[in-house]
Structure 1
Amino acid sequence: MNLPTIAPESPEPVLSIALPAALDGRDGINRARGGHRQIAADSDVEAVRLWLAEYAGSPHTLRSYRKEAVRLLLWATQTLGKPLSSLTREDFLLYEQFLAAPIGDWADPARPRRGGARRLFDGPLSERSRHQALGIVSGLLSYLVSAGYLAGNPLALRRRTGAAARRTRRVERYLDHALWDHVVASVEQWPRLTVRDHQHYERSRWLIRLLYHTGLRVSEAANAKAADFYQRRGKWWLHVVGKGGADGEVPVGAALMADLARYRAFHRLPPTPSGDESTPAVMTVAGDPTKHLTPAAVYLIVKEVFRRAADARATNDPAGAAKLRRASTHWLRHSAATHQADAGTDLRFVQKNMRHASIQTTGIYLHAEDDRRHSDTVHESDPSPQHTNIM
C-alpha cells in the first residue's frame, strides 16, 4: 500500500491533505440531513479543518489533534475505501485493532519522521495511547455532530474497558509529603560556587515551588508571565491560560509570593511584578526578561531536580529514589492536587485550582479517605488469629 503524500506540518491550523472526490464525504452515509448546520463545510477535510481551527491558540494540542485526524482520514480512505463521514461502529473496531498493529508504509522505519512522505506511526500504540487517540477522534466526531455535519458519533457506543475503565482508580504518580519535603531540602544542598551554579540553583528552586503550589501544567508554566500574578481584595492570584486557551485563576499564598520576590530580586528585578510587564515568570538561566522557556526546557529542569534528589536518597531509601527517577513535571501537578485534598480542601476548590472540567477527575486525588478506612480496618497490633481445627 502506498500512502498519499501529505503536506508538511505547519504551526497554522491547516489540514493540507487531498482526498479523491469520491471519498471526500459529501455523500457520506453518516452525514446529517436536514436541520440547521453550524458550519459551512461540505467535505470531511473542510469539516476537520474547522475543528482544528478551534485549537489555534494551543499549538501543542493542535499538533496532537491534527496527527490523529490525518491518521484516521488516510486509514479510512486508503484501507476501507470510505470517507470519514461513512464510518460505522464496526469500522472503528477495526481501526482500534489497526492502531495496535500498524503495518507496511504506516510504520516503515525507512520513511522519514517529518515531511510529506513521513511515516505516521513509530510502531504499535500502547493501550493508553490507543485510548488517547480514540478519545481525540471521539471529540472530533462529537464536534461534527453538534455542528450538524454528522448524524451521530459511532464512538459514543464504545464500551469502557481497560485503561478507560480504570480511570477512576486513585492516581499514583505523585510525591507523598516526605518525598516532596526531601526534594525541597535536596535543592538547598546544590553547589553555588560559580555564578552559573547560583543562577541554576535559584531558577530550579523557584520553578519546582511554582509548579507545586499552583499545579500548573508544563506548558502553562513555560508561558506564564510575572504580570499574571495579581491582587484582588488584598489576596494574590495567578491568571492561567490553560488547555484550548481557557482562562483560569489559582490562589497564591504569601510563601510563594516571597519565593517569587526572592527569584526576581536575584535577577535585579523589583520584588513585586507590575501589571503591564512582559517578563516571564520563569526566565532563562541568566535571567533574560525577554525570553520564555520552552515546555521541554521546563521538563528537563524538573527532571534534573528529581535526579539529584534521587541520588541523595539512593542509599537510605532505594524505593523512594526509584520513584523520584520516574517522576516528571506532571507529578508535581498530581502532588499539588493530592496534598490539597489531603489537607481537607473542599473538592470543588481543588477542581477549580486544577481547572478540571469534571469533579470526577478531581476525585482520583482523594487518598486521605482511603488511608483512614485502611487504618480503621487493619489493626497492626492485633494478635495473630488462632488456628482452630475444624472437624
Structure 2
Amino acid sequence: MPEQELIPIDLPFAPARLDGRQGTNRALGAHRQIAADTDLEAVRAWLAEYADSPHTLRAYRKEVVRLMLWAAQALDKPLSSLTREDLLVYEAFLAHPAGDWVDPTRPRTGGDRRLFEGPLSPASIRHTLGILSGLFAYLTAAGYLTGNPLALRRRKGRKAQGPRPGQERYLDQTLWNRLLAFIDTLPTSTTRERQHHERVRWLFRLLYGTGLRASEVAQARTGDLVHRRGRWWLRVTGKGGVTGEVPVSDGLLADLGRYRRFTGHPEALGAADADMPLVLSVVGATGRSLTPPAIYLIVKEVMRRAAGAIESEDPAGAAILRCASTHWLRHTAATHQADAGTDLRFIQKNLRHASLDTTSIYLHAEDDERHRKTTERSNEM
C-alpha cells in the first residue's frame, strides 16, 4: 500500500463533487510526478514527504484540513480551484474565525470538532500561509496544479530592528526549584496518582536535563543512550533530521533509574529493552510512548496547578508558570547552563543550533551585572 494512503485525513462534510478532479487550477494533461487524481490523494502525497517527522506531519495536516474544509463550506470549491483572491479571503478569515469554527461547545476531536480556538495572531497567520504555500508549490512542481496561487503573496517586510532582546521564555533558578518542589507534593494515595507523580517527576527532569523538544522526547528510546569513555550521552535526531548527542548527567541517570524501577524494569540499561521509550504512555507498556501533544498537555497542566499553589506568595512567578510550556524548559536548561558559565559552543551543540547567534540569546549574566552595578548605589542612598 502506498505510504500516503496510511495518513488519515478527516474531512467531514466535504462533498464528493468537490474532490478536485475538475479543479480549475488542475494541470490536466501535464506529465505528473505523483499518481494522484483527487485533491485528497495529492495532499496525502505531500504529507508523505513528512512521514518521518510526526510533529511536522500533524501540524501540516491540521493546516491543510482547515483550508480544504473552509474552501468547501465557505466557497463551495475544492483545493485545486482556489485562486489568489480566495486565499486573501481565507487570510482575513484566519484573523476572525467565527461561528461553528470556534464554537466552544464543540469537541476538540472527531468529525464535528471545532478547528480553531480563536483568532490567529499575525505571526501564526504568516506561519499558516507559509505551510500552505509549500503545499501549493509542491503540487505545482509535481504537475498536479498549473500554478501556486500563494506565489503571488506579497512578502510583508518587517521593520528594521535593533539587537534581538534577551530570551525571556524561561524559569529562573528560584522558580524552577519551586516547580520541582511542587511536583514532589503531587498526590500519591492511589496507584494512578503514583503513576502520574513518577511520570511527571521524570518527564520534567528529562526535558530540563537534556533540553530536548517535546517531539524529541516522544521519540527517545532506551537504546538511544550511549556509554562512551565512562560517560553517558543521549543520541537525538531533531528538526530537519539533524542528529546530535546530548550529555546525560549522573543525576539524570539516577532519575531514569528511579523511573525504571517504578515501572517494573531493571535500573541497569540493557539491549533487551533498547526499543523501550524513555517516557511511557502507560506504566509497564514498553512499546507505547507519550505523543508530543500529550507531553505538551501534561506540562501545561502541571504548570497551571503549580501556578495556583504559589499564587499567594509569588504572583509574578505564578503568572510566568501559566504562560510556560514544554519549550520553556528547553530555554530554561540553556539559560541555566549559560548562567553557570558553560561555554556557549557547548550549549550550541547541546541544543543542536546551526548558529552561535541563536544560542547567544540565553546569555543573561552581563545584563545581571549591568543591573547590579547601576542600581547598587541607588540602593545605598
Same fold (TM over 0.5): yes
Letter in 2 for 1:274: G
Partners of 2:359 and 2:32 in 1: how far apart?
33
Partners of 2:32 and 2:229 in 1: how far apart?
42
CA contact (8 A) 2:166 2:363 kept: yes
Letter in 1 for 2:279: V
Higher helix share: 2
Counterpart in 2 of 1:339?
Answer: 336
Answer yes or no: is 1:100 the counterpart of 2:92: no
Find 2:155's aligned residue among 155, 158, 166: 158
Partners of 1:240 and 1:380 in 2: how far apart?
44
Letter in 1 for 2:126: H
| TM-fit CA distance, 1:173 | 2.4
DSSP 3-state at the match of 1:281: coil
* Correspondence list, 1:224-373, <5 A: 224-243=220-239, 247-277=243-273, 278-284=275-281, 286-356=283-353, 360-373=357-370
Counterpart in 1 of 2:19?
Answer: 18
Find 2:176's aligned residue among 174, 180, 184: 180
* Correspondence list, 1:195-210, <5 A: 197-210=193-206
Find 2:64's aligned residue among 49, 62, 69: 69
Q: Is there any run of 5+ residues in structure 1 with no aligned partner, and where? A: 1-8, 28-32, 386-391
Label 1:255 to 1:155 Cα distance change in 2 as closer, same or farther (>3 A): farther
| TM-fit CA distance, 1:42 | 8.4
Letter in 2 for 1:12: I
Letter in 1 for 2:20: L
DSSP 3-state at the match of 1:379: helix
Partners of 1:82 and 1:352 in 2: how far apart?
45
| TM-fit CA distance, 1:43 | 8.0
Letter in 2 for 1:224: A
| TM-fit CA distance, 1:252 | 1.2
Moved more, 103-112 or 133-142: 103-112
Letter in 2 for 1:215: G
TM-score, normalised to structure 2, is 0.73
Label 1:124 to 1:191 Cα distance change in 2 as closer, same or farther (>3 A): closer
Partners of 1:288 and 1:174 in 2: how far apart?
33
| TM-fit CA distance, 1:56 | 1.5
| TM-fit CA distance, 1:212 | 0.5
Letter in 2 for 1:214: T
Letter in 2 for 1:64: A
Label 1:20 to 1:198 Cα distance change in 2 as closer, same or farther (>3 A): closer
How many residues align? The count is 366
Q: Is there any run of 5+ residues in structure 2 with no aligned partner, and where? A: 12-17
CA contact (8 A) 2:203 2:279 kept: yes
Deviation digits for residues 93-140 of structure 1, max 9, x if unmatched?
554323213468877899997777877556532334313212322444
Partners of 1:191 and 1:13 in 2: how far apart?
38
| TM-fit CA distance, 1:256 | 0.8
Partners of 2:198 and 2:107 in 1: how far apart?
41
Partners of 2:231 and 2:271 in 1: how far apart?
15
CA contact (8 A) 2:27 2:146 kept: no
DSSP 3-state at the match of 1:249: strand
Partners of 2:21 and 2:162 in 1: how far apart?
40
Label 1:116 to 1:180 Cα distance change in 2 as closer, same or farther (>3 A): closer
CA contact (8 A) 2:264 2:284 kept: no
Partners of 2:198 and 2:80 in 1: how far apart?
52
Partners of 2:117 and 2:308 in 1: how far apart?
33
Label 1:229 to 1:95 Cα distance change in 2 as closer, same or farther (>3 A): same
Counterpart in 2 of 1:388?
Answer: none
Label 1:122 to 1:43 Cα distance change in 2 as closer, same or farther (>3 A): farther
DSSP 3-state at the match of 1:65: helix
Letter in 2 for 1:131: R
Counterpart in 1 of 2:167?
Answer: 171
Deviation digits for residues 308-337 of structure 1, max 9, x if unmatched?
543443332222123223333222122112
